[in-house]
Amino acid sequence: SIFTPTNQIRLTNVAVVRMKRGGKRFEIACYKNKVVGWRSGVEKDLDEVLQTHSVFVNVSKGQVAKKEDLISAFGTDDQTEICKQILTKGEVQVSDKERHTQLEQMFRDIATIVADKCVNPETKRPYTVILIERAMKDIHYSVKPNKSTKQQALEVIKQLKEKMKIERAHMRLRFILPVNEGKKLKEKLKPLMKVVESEDYSQQLEIVCLIDPGCFREIDELIKKETKGRGSLEVLSLKDVEEGDEKFE
Amino acid sequence: MVLSGVDKMIRLQKNTANIRNICVLAHVDHGKTTLADCLISSNGIISSRLAGKLRYMDSREDEQVRGITMKSSAISLHYAEGHEEYLINLIDSPGHVDFSSEVSTAVRICDGCIIVVDAVEGVCPQTQAVLRQAWLENIRPVLVINKIDRLIVELKFTPQEAYSHLKNILEQINALTGTLFTSKVLEERAERETESQAKPHSEQGEQVYDWSAGLEDVDDSQLYFSPEQGNVVFTSAIDGWGFGIEHFARIYSQKIGIKKEVLLKTLWGDYYINMKAKKIMKVDQAKGKKPLFVQLILENIWSLYDAVLKKDKEKIDKIVTSLGLKIGAREARHSDPKVQINAICSQWLPISHAVLAMVCHKLPSPLDMTSERVEKLLCTGSQTFESLPPETQALKAAFMKCGSEDTAPVIIFVSKMFAVDVKALPQNKPRPLTQEEMAQRRERARQRHAEKLAAAQGQTSQGPTQDGGALETSPHEDEPRGDEPDVASVSRQPVSQEESSQEAFIAFARVFSGIARRGKKIFVLGPKYSPVDFLQRVPLGFSAPLEDLPPVPHMACCTLENLYLLMGRELEDLEEVPPGNVLGIGGLQDFVLKSATLCSLPSCPPFIPLNFEATPIVRVAVEPKHPSEMPQLVKGMKLLNQADPCVQVLIQETGEHVLVTAGEVHLQRCLDDLRERFAKIHISVSEPIIPFRETITKPPKVDMVNEEIGRQQKVAVIHQTKEEQSKIPEGIHVDSDGLITIPTPNKLATLSVRAIPLPEEVTRILEENSDLIRSMELLTSSLNEGRNTQAIHQKTQEKIWEFKGKLEKHLTGRKWRNTVDQIWSFGPRKCGPNILVSRSEDFQNSVWSGPAGRESKEASRFRDFGNSIVSGFQLATLSGPMCEEPLMGVCFVLEKWELNKCAEQGASDKQHQGQCDLAGEGQGGGKTCHVGDENQEQQDVCSEPFEETSQKGDSPVIDCYGPFSGQLIATMKEACRYALQVKPQRLMAAMYTCDIMATSDVLGRVYAVLSKREGRVLQEEMKEGTDMFIIKAVLPVAESFGFADEIRKRTSGLASPQLVFSHWEVIPSDPFWVPTTEEEYLHFGEKADSENQARKYMNAVRKRKGLYVEEKIVEHAEKQRTLSKNK
């Protein structure tokens, strides 16, 4: 046929799922925004997913797959059964709304993680998720769909620090060090500790301090190496935050 | 033009007997502010033409826009009657329910009040409320029936109808006063009875029971409003007229020749006049005689209105001349009849005269304060006056005397703080410049100009090479120059640019005794201060200077700095304020939060707290639009808290800033204030976050259509189980009774965990004793470390045993045998309402005694890993599988715990594990993430836990899955989660108890609102002596947003709820429920479209947290909008 705008039919509401099997490519025509739902088990009605139960070689051209090909590839000619197989195993075009909800979900997740890990250093109180979300939008953070949300959350914290007063909640640690190595070690630990809350030199050197959770491993290794396993380290609290409600008076 | 200047006011202030402190109270829109306007115009502060339109007391912009008053504000007026000159401190108050706290602040510092009632609307809810408030504060009311003109113009009543209507209103109000009176008498009686019961032997002689309730014995004739007593005035504030009976009585006694006293008694009431006999007779209904009030008063007014509205020129002129008035040509010719009426009536029956005369005659002066009121003010709570220290009792005399001598103690009560723009303070007001100053300025300007020229020349001569440098320096040079005029202006008005944006707080106060002088040292006593405290701490007759006093809680000492006369929007500086006056005090914001008592003697008790009709209930979370503006917001909220008597501000543990206000309108005002005055930032307002808890229940016996489970054919049962199986990954074994067996990733250990719901009682006990559990935890941890802890406090030990005993009492039955002894830990955070029980045979550990069997090697091996198990449990309880909310009332039983041989070696790396365990435990604060390897996380190398090979591992235990302890934690957590998931899970909602006071006629609507919001009524009872019902109900917190407002709207303000958090309650519906049996299909349909409350909540939380929600992105595939591309 002549390729003119009038007799050109566009597939506007079709999401194609493709699968290669036995050297042949098979396609099925599905509704948009429905395939991911089917895969996650939310959608249970097949008719809500499939436009038609027939299997195609090329959906946009309307070429239906031949019976022999189907039997050779799938071992059956039950179109519905094959459709189900293709639906679960084939490659999907992710539709706009599906992508949007996924990104939105990740965005929320990141914000939740950030809000959970961080505090306002002035008040030692957490920020709310909504506020973090807004801050993330302010710095134009874009979610990367193939990176874990936790990893991205740590990135976000770094970026947010430039814009607002936010800090990771400090860990409270207690070191118990043998006295002779204690002094030396303390000097080395000093740059890593944020706040030293108490020091006690009785039989052993006992220090309670706040650190940035990022340097925990470093401190841990340092102590282990320097004291050859005789010093010990104890996490008193993972997050140093204010508890309870506060009323302004 | 201000007719009565400040000097005159100051003079009048000294004559205490002629001071009247009054406030205007009424329902919203009954004309308080208009009435105030009329009174103000009589003093010439505003034009009488504008009176009623200007609303002078509404100084805020939003008050003017909305047309309602939002704050109470005071103005001092002057009124002369004959030779007597009176000073009237008038306080206008808001009528809207949301601002009833402002009414309380006004009522406290007054001696009398004007109750305004709309002649058309009659008694309204707020009328009742304000009457009650006035009653509770023991202040005397007078009545103004306003808007009489509406009866004529709008309702087109005949005078006779109007009379009966007015009579009706008066009866309603008197009935109200009556109920207040009876309830008080009954209360007193009840009190007396309890007292006499306390000492039953003292009055044995009195055997006869007194049934009369004492009502008959108490005189109540003074209480009621009636025109013949002169405490009722009929007005039309908008038209500027008003009259009392007395006015007409005086006129007609001359005209008709009947004694004034007789007329006073008969003008109101069913009397008529027999003109021929010049006799006043009782009305005989049959003869259709008009009462005096109609005949002599109302008909005249009606005919005047009639004439003006019909534009009957002749008649108007006749009336005007007969009344002997002079109407200006402008008004007479004016086309708007309103203007003419105003002009005529305000001369004929001036409203200010009628009202102010009544105020001066009927309301008490500060000198006449009743001793009853004084005692009530001084006795907080259940204290009786006699129980106060003698020094305090002595103050009563000072109150009563209200003396102005220097020896009299100064007592001032601050009822609220209000914010004023610093620029509006009198000392900062720009005053006209004198000639000299003008000359100086001119000179300075000339100099500046010359300098600038010189600088410019210098710059050009420096040449282009130094251009950059010159540019850089020039602003520096400019700066001091630019400052010069500023410095000069500072000397003129001490407000620098920076300060001009600030708010100054002024205390709204009244002097009860003594003279408040500028510079006087005074004690500021907070609401919680107790003079007993002071007298104990400070030896009697101390002579040390005030600064050396030992610190006493809730007391501070300060100097009175600025005293102001409150004139509505204006403030006037004062040097001293004699007793009995209302005043503003500046410079107290650091000492007084909302209200306080100021006294020169520390023995004064603080006044009883203000009695708020509305408590704050509307909660919203507030956040700055830009996250960096947090400090401004906090500062602004603090200021707002100070400026508003009723608002509550708090920061929650979640980091939310919550604003609690009395109602929607109040909220709006608070937000406006925050945005424009206090914080000056953009803020966003949202519903506060609502917490939930997760729990499990016993399997239900009946299904959703109340059929017994197990009998019917389960239609979809196969589908369901298949799905459930798919949730649990391979390698995990699930018993039919919910025992989960799960190996660690390296297959070295296997855990078997079961979840059991705890009885409700046990959960409650655990909740109540969380502090005790925490201290127990501290104790055991210090024991474990082997440190020599101080012997356990005897009391704590006792408490622990008591707690244990309680638990044992409630955990009975076969299932729970020995459970209490086997309790290993509590969670989350080691003190929560969930229990970990260890039933593993070869390992015993209990919270009660610390780890048992320390010696055996076998046990020590287990013990080393025990901490990991506990950490796993802590994590599992902190965030449940449904929506990552904490668990509640779940018991996890560790049934079996197997360690393979090679795990033994793991113990060698004990040091390392110790850390990990602790790291894991600490995670108590953390949430969803896999704790497993905190170390990895710390490094910010976020990879999947357990996959990275640990670098430091020289021990074989640290394999490709990470350290063994970490694996244990994760495995335990997973095990707990799965154990939960195989049981019927339920969501728990936080519940408010809700006390609602409602009149009987709106009871139905209250119930409707409650049931719409899933509320449940617990009880309902009638308050004795009134027609109010008290309803007790519970309501989920999740449904409470907007509840208070809705209930108020639906009941037109006749019911007001109060919400207090009470408990957690299991939501009965299963969030994962789908119909399975045939009946259920029949009832709910295949998709179960009908609302599942638990699922709704769960999904909302999951969505908020960014968790996966089982929801279709698009419900109907065919109903999507088809968008074509490239077209």
Give the per-residue pLDDT at B741: 85
**Given an 8 Å threshold on Cβ–Cβ distance, is A245 in contact with B651?**
yes
Do B644 and B586 lie in a common domain? no
> Do B874 and B735 belong to one domain?
yes
The yes-or-no verdict on residue B791 having pLDDT over 80 is: no
Residue A151 with chain B: CB contacts under 8 Å: 942
At B773, which CATH number? 3.30.230.10
Q: What is the pLDDT of residue B475?
A: 39
Q: Is residue B465 part of a domain?
A: no
Q: Would the pLDDT of B308 be above 80?
A: yes
Instruction: Cite the beta strand spans of B165-250 per DSSP E.
Output: 232-236, 241-243
Quick check: B201 pLDDT over 80? no
B329: pLDDT strictly greater than 70: yes
H helices within B310-434, ranges in order?
A: 313-323, 329-333, 337-348, 351-362, 371-378, 390-401
> Of B306 and B662, which is predicted with more confidence?
B306
Buried b (16+ CB within 10 A) or exposed e, B486-502: eeeeeeeeebeeeeeee
DSSP for A22-71, please give it.
Answer: TTEEEEEEEETT-HHHHHHTS---GGGTBS-S--EEETTTTEEPPHHHHH
- The CATH number for B385's domain is 2.40.30.10
Per-residue model confidence (pLDDT) at position A40: 84
pLDDT at B477: 39
How close, in Å, is residue B528 to chain A by CA atoms?
13
Query: Does residue B65 carry a pLDDT above 50?
Result: yes
Q: Indicate which CATH number applies to the domain containing B162.
A: 3.40.50.300
| pLDDT reported for residue A27 | 93
Q: Same domain for B381 and B526?
A: yes
pLDDT beyond 70 at B1061: yes
Q: Is the pLDDT of residue A81 over 70?
A: yes
> Inter-chain contact A243–B1108, Cβ cutoff 8 Å?
no
Residue-number span of the structural domain to which B278 is assigned: 244-349
What would the two tokens of residue B1085 be?
């349909």
More confident residue, B551 or B546: B551
Residue of B1118, B1123, B1094, B1099 whose CA lies nearest to B1109: B1099
Mean pLDDT, chain B, integer = 75
Mean pLDDT along residues B703-710: 63
* The total number of residues written for chain A in this structure: 249
Higher local confidence (pLDDT), A14 or B214:
A14
Distance from CA of A119 to the nearest CA of B (A): 9
Whole-number pLDDT of residue A187:
79
CB B623 within 8 A of CB B671: no
pTM: 0.73
Q: Is the CB of residue A183 less than 8 Å from the CB of residue A239?
A: no
Residue among B11, B9, B10, B35 at smallest CA distance from B24: B35
**Could you give the angle at the alpha carbon of B238 between the alpha carbons of B237 and B239, nearest 5°?**
90
Chain-chain contact of A127 with B627 (C-beta, under 8 angstroms): yes
Which of the two residues, A186 and A90, has the higher pLDDT score?
A: A90
- Residue A90's φ and ψ, nearest 5 degrees, are -75, 175
Same domain, B176 and B149: yes
Q: Does A43 sit within 8 Å of B1112, measured CB to CB?
A: yes
| B149 and B46 housed in the same domain | yes
pLDDT attached to residue B15: 85
Closest among B383, B364, B297 to B134, alpha carbons compared: B364
Asked if B304 and B380 sit in the same domain, the reply is no
CB B901 within 8 A of CB B999: no
Asked if residue B673 belongs to a known ligand binding site, the reply is no
Query: Do B141 and B233 contact (CB within 8 A), yes or no?
Result: no
Distances (CA, A) of A210 to A191, A204, B62, B475, B821: 12, 19, 49, 45, 37
- Segment B64-76 mean pLDDT: 86
Q: Which of B948, B982, B1016 is the last residue of a domain?
A: B982
Would strands B648-651 and B733-734 be described as parallel, antiparallel, or unpaired? unpaired
Q: Is residue B174 domain-shared with residue B69, that is, in the same domain?
A: yes
Q: Is residue B444 part of a domain?
A: no
CB within 8 A of B469, min separation 6: which ones? none
**pLDDT tens digits, residue range B937-987?**
333 333 333 333 333 333 334 445 556 767 787 888 888 888 888 888 888
Residue type, B384: T
Does B146 carry a binding-site annotation?
yes
Mean pLDDT of the B862-886 span: 79
Would you say residue B263 has pLDDT above 80? Answer: yes
Residue ranges of A 19-38 with Cβ closer than 8 A to chain B: 31-34, 36-37
More confident residue, B493 or B375: B375
The angle at the Cα of B322, spanning B316 to B325, to the nearest 5 degrees, equals 75
B745 lies in a domain? Answer: yes
Contact: B942, A151; criterion CB under 8 Å: yes
**Over residues B510-522, mean pLDDT:** 85
Residue A18's pLDDT band, with cuts at 50, 70 and 90, is: very high
The reply to whether B956 falls in a domain is no
Whether A9 shows a pLDDT value over 80: the answer reads no
Single residue among B982, B1011, B1037 that ends a domain in this structure: B982
Q: Which helix (H) or strand (E) element contains residue B308?
A: helix B299-309
Structure tokens, A180: 């002779």
CATH number at residue B645: 3.30.70.870
One-letter amino acid for residue B52 of the chain: G
Nearest-CB residue to B927 (from A37, A116, A233): A116
- 10 Å CB burial of residue A84 (0-12, 13-18, 19+) is middle
A96 in Cβ contact with A104 (< 8 Å): no
pLDDT band at A10 (very low <50, low <70, confident <90, very high): low
Instruction: For residue B13, give every residue at least 6 positions away whose Cβ sits within 8 Å of its Cβ, in sequence order, or none.
Output: B19, B87, B577, B578, B581
The radius of gyration of chain B's CA atoms, rounded to the nearest angstrom, is 39
DSSP symbol at B548: G
Cα–Cα dist B996/B278, whole Å: 57
Rounded mean pLDDT, B485-501:
41
Q: Are B1110 and B1073 in contact (CB under 8 A)?
A: no
* Residues of A with Cβ-Cβ distance to B944 under 8 angstroms: 148
pLDDT tens column, B430-480: 655 666 777 787 788 888 888 887 777 665 544 444 444 433 433 343 434
| Annotated binding-site residue? B580 | no
Q: Residue A57 has what pLDDT?
A: 92
Do B380 and B525 belong together in one domain? yes
- What percent of chain B stands above pLDDT 90? 2
Answer yes or no: do B283 and B161 share one domain: no
B764-787 pLDDT, tens digit per residue, is 888 888 888 877 777 776 665 555
Secondary structure (DSSP) of B805-861: HHHHHHS-SSTTTTHHHHEEEEESTTTSSEEEEE--TT--EETTTEES--S-HHHHH
What is the C-alpha separation between A116 and B654, in angstroms, rounded?
9
CB nearest to B638's CB, from A132, A215, A248 = A248
Q: Are A123 and B651 a contacting pair at CB < 8 A? A: yes
- Report the alpha-carbon distance of residue B1033 to residue B1015 in Å, rounded: 7
Say if the Cβ atoms of B627 and A135 lie within 8 Å: yes
pLDDT in tens, B1026-1050: 677 888 899 888 888 888 878 888 8
pLDDT of amino acid B841: 66
Any domain includes B1063: no
Q: Which of A228-242, B483-497, B844-858, B1068-1082 has the lowest mean pLDDT?
A: B483-497
The CA angle B563-B91-B56, to the nearest 5 degrees, is 95
In a mutational test of the B interface, the residue from A234, A239, A241 whose CB has the highest number of chain B CBs within 10 Å is A234
**Cα separation of B372 and B138, whole Å?**
8
Query: Which CATH number is B273's domain given?
Result: 3.90.1430.10
Find the CB nearest A246 among B593, B651, B938. Answer: B651
Q: What is the pLDDT of residue B283?
A: 63
pLDDT classification of B199: cutoffs 50, 70, 90: low
Confirm or reject contact between A226 and chain B (CB < 8 A).
Answer: no
- Say if residue B643's pLDDT is above 70: yes
Residues B110-123 pLDDT 10s: 888 999 998 888 88
Residue B267: pLDDT over 90: no
Q: Which residue, of B302, B317, B349, is where some domain finishes?
A: B349
Runs of H (alpha helix) within chain A:
35-40, 67-74, 79-89, 96-117, 129-138, 149-163, 179-189, 216-227
pLDDT digits 0-9 by tens, B629-642? 888 888 888 888 88
Tell me whether residues A165 and B628 touch, CB distance under 8 A: yes
Q: What's the number of domains chain B is made of?
A: 5
Which residue is closest to B936 within chain A, CA to CA?
A217
Whether B651 and A115 lie within 8 Å, measured CB to CB: no
Distance in angstroms (rounded) separating the CA atoms of residues B399 and B366: 9
Is B31 assigned a ligand-binding role in the annotation? Answer: yes
> What pLDDT is stored for residue B497 in this prediction?
40
Q: Is the pLDDT of residue B266 over 50?
A: yes
What are residue A105's phi and psi, to 5 degrees?
-60, -45
Query: What integer pLDDT is reported at residue B962 of this predicted model?
Result: 58
How distant is the Cα of A207 from the closest Cα of chain B, in angstroms? 16
Who among A98, A163, A169 is closest to B628 (CB)? A163
Asked if A237 is an interface residue toward chain B (Cβ–Cβ < 8 A), one would say yes
**B628-657: average pLDDT:** 85
A220 interfacial to chain B (CB closer than 8 Å):
yes
Q: Counting one residue from A and one from B, how many pairs have CB atoms under 8 Å apart?
A: 192
Is A169 part of the contact surface with chain B (CB cutoff 8 Å)?
A: yes
Contact check, Cβ <8 Å, B919/A126: no
Same domain, B767 and B886: yes
| pLDDT at residue A228 greater than cutoff 90 | no
Q: Name the least confident of A138-142, B44-48, B374-378, B1123-1127.
A: B1123-1127
pLDDT at site B921: 38
* pLDDT given at position B181: 84
Determine the average pLDDT of the residues in B401-417.
82
Is residue B208 one of the residues assigned to a domain? no
Whether the Cβ atoms of residue B100 and residue B26 lie closer than 8 Å to each other: no
Q: Is residue B282 part of a domain?
A: yes
User: Given this model, what pLDDT does residue B954 score?
Assistant: 37
Cα distances (Å, whole numbers) of residue B648 to A23, A194, B36, B609, B1098: 72, 35, 30, 16, 30
Give the Cα separation of A217 and B936 in Å (integer): 8
Contact B942 A148 (CB under 8 A): yes
Candidates B638, B639, B651: best to mutate against A (most CBs of A within 10 A) is: B651
Q: Say if residue B60 is in the same domain as residue B169.
A: yes
| Residue B773 forms part of a structural domain | yes
Summarised one tens digit per residue, pLDDT across range A107-161 is: 988 998 898 888 888 888 888 888 898 899 989 999 998 899 889 999 999 999 8
pLDDT at A20: 92
B27 known member of a binding site: yes
**CA–CA dist B555, B321 (Å, integer):** 66
Residue B144 and residue B43 in one domain: yes
Q: Which chain A residues touch B631 with a CB distance below 8 Å? A: 122
Q: Residues in chain B, how many?
A: 1127
Range scoring the smallest mean pLDDT among B379-383, B510-514, B820-824, B1114-1118 = B379-383
Among A108-112, B705-709, B957-961, B1074-1078, the minimum mean pLDDT is found in B957-961
CB contact under 8 A, B935 and A220: yes
Rg of chain A (C-alpha set): 29
Interface of A with B in 129-148 (CB under 8 A): 129-132, 134-135, 138, 148
